[in-house]
Amino acid sequence: MNKIKFLSTFGLFLFLLTPLYSQFILPEYQSQVVDENEMMIRWEPRTWQEWQTSLKEGYQVKVFGGAAKTSMQLMETKVVKPASEKEWEVAIANQSDTLLREFYQAAQSFLYMAPEIEAEIQKSLMDEPGKTMEENIGEFRMGYLVYSITYGMEMIEMAGLGFKMNLEDNKVYRIEVSANGHDGYEFVYDPAQKIKPTIPKLSSEFGDKKVALSWSTPEHKQQYFGYYLSKSDNGKKYDRVLDVPYVNILDTITITPDAGIMTEEVVLEKNYKDYWFKIKGMNYFGQESPLSSVQKGYGFEKINVMPVISYSDQTEANEAEINWSVDRNLNRLIDHFAIYRSDELDGEYKVVLDSIPPASRTIKIPMEHNRNFFSVGIVPKDGPVMRSFSVFVMGQDTVPPIIPQNFVATIDTNGVVTLNWDRNVEEDLWGYKIFRSEFIEDEFAPMMASPMIDTFFLDTINLNSINEQIHYSIISLDKRNNRSAFAPIISLNRPDTIMPTPPLVRGIEFMEDSIKVEWASSSSQDVKLHQLFRRELNQEGWKMVAEFTSAESLNYFVDNKFELNKTYLYTVTATDDADLNSLPSRPLRVRTISRKPKKAFKRFDVKFDEKKATSSISWQLVDEQKLEEIIVYRGPNEAEISMYKILTPSEKEIVQDFEDNKNWYFLFKPIYNDGSSVLMSDIVEVKAPEGD
């Protein structure tokens, strides 16, 4: 990378991240990730001196494995070293993603830094007590290298700070990593202790053409380095708000508390139009999480003024008459007005009159107490309630009976509800009224026209309802119709006897290297889990391939574990919070027949041995394990090429004698044992060396 290019990328890092080159750390146990049957491991040098040692000698890695932690044996020993500068150049050239290429280039520069760039960085660094400038620059390079390589496992391996390995089923592993003369690292993998992935809950507060989004990160920092935030105007196609993930600095430096909330304000193009926002985590290996958290909402015009009470007094009928003023141009934004009351100016205010029409500006309220502090509230169609300052109105001396005490309720499996409470002691008690509601936020309806004197009540409810709960309250009344406040609401859970509705698999698409399955969630409100199952056609038994604890209206899963030239069936089930399972969805099938030819060869190398008068061609394959044979074609020119020979998988080179300074043209076609379609290689020209 040239100097100008590096400084441009360095400027990008300064924009993304406060310089924390000596403070960035990896959560310890999350330095290992298991992806299906593959384990990826990375580590961060503890000191600049350790890093310098590893650059020269590499890290020594020992892999132990066994059926239990007490019976592990040494399985493998290897040395992990950084890739050469030339190998980095090849990797950079192979990156089609512009942003990812920037991180490759930055990582290469921090490993193999040009003197003139190091001089530029030195100018921007402050001297630190107890450190030489060489150590200061070294820690700067090391810290930013660790940050850069987080965006891909290939970069981690090329930097010599990690490796990956295949896992065997039901096997426990311990990996020891050490650099000569420095403290080592130890990683342990036990399949019985796998951590279930989670995702933070995305919160949103919509306003006037904007939305404030937030999510908590500390409890998830062992899993995720950062988070991608995306926006959609239809709930299906999402575009990222930023190309790079949001990173919470409080999670990644050692000098700050283990706390932090990520926040972002996004401008909305229109008010009163639905928008969807989604976060996904990015782990410490550059992988995006399959889980996501979604919020939906719309912007709206806010009411930013409060009502002003212009008149308040007591009437002869012991009512509080209240008049207030609000700009009538705001009526279009008002849902209704509400009157709040409290015994004290700074006491707890409760709604005593609700659903006052937006056009109203005056009201009369019967008073049951001597001391009354009233406030008028604007309840807008969207946004928070705006309340006025309070006014005091004196009332007549009216004392209602006390709230019924020890109000309890039970429900049996047949839906019979039994309510009980203690009898009041007032001499002028008239009786009690029971109130019931299907929804706790809705108005409670009385269950009798006149008060009842008994202290128990029986009710029978319908069990075949989509509402999970039924809610009850009670009041007492005296003979002057003074009413007590409502007793605390009792919420009873209906016995759940209804299985959830089945989900619906809506489509399956084979995409060469994966199978994309889309389904619609169960319409039942109490569903807590969806499970996706798969089996081969004409085979017994379904295998669960994924499960989801949160669901959107349309969900999808990308299945990468399959074999070509087979037919698979997929179905989805739903489980509710009573652990009742739905019927499986109607299965859909997909055939995994690949029609896209693959590029088989990575490179060819042509060498000449003038002493032996021979030339040789060697090659590297993309997927050597599936190789069955290689058909070689040869000819004296590009128009006269014919089959020359067939090679076995173990043959990786062709050697031939020079023939009268003759040029030869070769074509290679690998045959894979899984029937994969591959592209024939480009023509490889072998020119005879020119004579003296």
Task: Decide if pLDDT at 245 tops 60.
Answer: yes
Choosing from 591, 626, 658, the residue where a domain stops is 591
Choosing from 437, 465, 493, the residue where a domain stops is 493
Choosing from 535, 565, 591, the residue where a domain stops is 591
Mean pLDDT, residues 285-290: 92
CATH number of the domain residue 423 falls in? 2.60.40.10
Domain count, the chain: 6
For 237-301, the DSSP string reads S-EESSSSPB--HHHH-TTS-S--EEEEEEE-SSBSS-EEEEEEEE-TTSPBPS--EEEEE-B-P
Q: Is residue 402 part of a domain?
A: no
Domain match, 466 and 519 both: no
Rounded CA-CA distance 366/318 in Å is: 6
Euclidean distance between the first and final Cα of the chain, in Å? 40
DSSP letter (8 states) at residue 70? G
Domain match, 345 and 464 both: no
More confident residue, 690 or 64: 64
DSSP letter (8 states) at residue 483? B
Q: In this predicted structure, what is the pLDDT of residue 622?
A: 82
Lowest mean pLDDT among 31-45, 163-177, 404-418: 31-45
Mean pLDDT, residues 395-420: 88
Task: Decide if pLDDT at 228 tops 70.
Answer: yes
Q: In this predicted structure, what is the pLDDT of residue 222?
A: 84
Q: In this predicted structure, what is the pLDDT of residue 252?
A: 57
Domain match, 184 and 208 both: no
Question: 3-class SS at 302?
Answer: coil
Q: Each residue of 661-670: pLDDT tens digit? A: 678 899 999 8
Question: 3-class SS at 543?
Answer: strand
Domain match, 60 and 147 both: yes
Q: In this predicted structure, what is the pLDDT of residue 691?
A: 60
Q: Each residue of 323-340: pLDDT tens digit? A: 999 999 999 999 999 999
Domain match, 667 and 619 both: yes
Degrees (nearest 5) of the Cα angle 101, 107, 109? 105
Domain match, 15 and 136 both: yes
Q: Each residue of 275-286: pLDDT tens digit? A: 999 999 999 999
Determine contact, residues 115/137, Cβ cutoff 8 Å.
no
Q: In this predicted structure, what is the pLDDT of residue 214?
A: 94
Degrees (nearest 5) of the Cα angle 493, 497, 502? 115
Rounded CA-CA distance 148/556 in Å is: 31
Reported confidence tier of residue 11, pLDDT bands at 50, 70, 90: very low
Domain match, 372 and 227 both: no
Type of residue numbered 283: N
More confident residue, 89 or 30: 89
Q: Is residue 302 part of a domain?
A: no
Question: 3-class SS at 109?
Answer: helix
Angular region, 125: left φ>0, alpha ψ -120 to 50, beta rest: beta
Q: In this predicted structure, what is the pLDDT of residue 523?
A: 86
How far does Cα 563 stand from its chain's mean position?
28
Domain match, 171 and 67 both: yes
Instruction: Give the percent of the chain with pLDDT over 90.
Output: 54
Reported confidence tier of residue 65, pLDDT bands at 50, 70, 90: very high
More confident residue, 392 or 34: 392
Domain match, 467 and 539 both: no
Reported confidence tier of residue 100, pLDDT bands at 50, 70, 90: very high
Q: In this predicted structure, what is the pLDDT of residue 21?
A: 37
Q: Is residue 403 part of a domain?
A: no
Angular region, 628: left φ>0, alpha ψ -120 to 50, beta rest: alpha
Reported confidence tier of residue 15, pLDDT bands at 50, 70, 90: very low
Determine contact, residues 565/675, Cβ cutoff 8 Å.
yes
Two structure tokens written together for 149: 């390589």
Type of residue numbered 163: F
73-80 and 59-66: which strand pairing? antiparallel
Domain match, 129 and 260 both: no
Determine contact, residues 176/186, Cβ cutoff 8 Å.
yes
Task: Decide if pLDDT at 258 tops 90.
Answer: no
Reported confidence tier of residue 435, pLDDT bands at 50, 70, 90: very high
Task: Decide if pLDDT at 106 tops 60.
Answer: yes
Q: Is residue 632 part of a domain?
A: yes
Surface-to-core class of residue 258, CB atoms within 10 Å of its CB (0-12 exposed, 13-18 middle, 19+ buried): exposed
Q: In this predicted structure, what is the pLDDT of residue 397?
A: 54
Q: Is residue 679 part of a domain?
A: yes
Angular region, 638: left φ>0, alpha ψ -120 to 50, beta rest: alpha
Q: Each residue of 111-147: pLDDT tens digit? A: 998 888 888 877 877 777 777 888 888 888 888 899 8
Q: Is residue 401 part of a domain?
A: no
Surface-to-core class of residue 74, CB atoms within 10 Å of its CB (0-12 exposed, 13-18 middle, 19+ buried): exposed
Mean pLDDT of the chain: 87
Q: Each residue of 509-545: pLDDT tens digit? A: 888 789 999 988 888 888 889 999 999 998 889 999 9
Length of the chain measured in residues: 692
Query: Which long-range contacts link 420-426 to residues 24+ away (Cβ below 8 Å)?
Result: 420/455, 420/456, 421/455, 421/456, 421/474, 421/487, 422/455, 423/455, 424/476, 426/401, 426/402, 426/476, 426/478
Q: Each residue of 165-194: pLDDT tens digit? A: 999 988 999 999 999 989 889 999 988 887
Task: Decide if pLDDT at 425 tops 50.
Answer: yes
Q: Is residue 32 part of a domain?
A: yes
Q: In this predicted structure, what is the pLDDT of residue 1?
A: 40
Type of residue numbered 5: K
Domain match, 118 and 63 both: yes
DSSP letter (8 states) at residue 125? P
- Domain membership of residue 575 as a residue range: 504-591
Mean pLDDT, residues 361-369: 91
Domain match, 571 and 485 both: no
Question: 3-class SS at 416?
Answer: strand
Reported confidence tier of residue 210, pLDDT bands at 50, 70, 90: very high
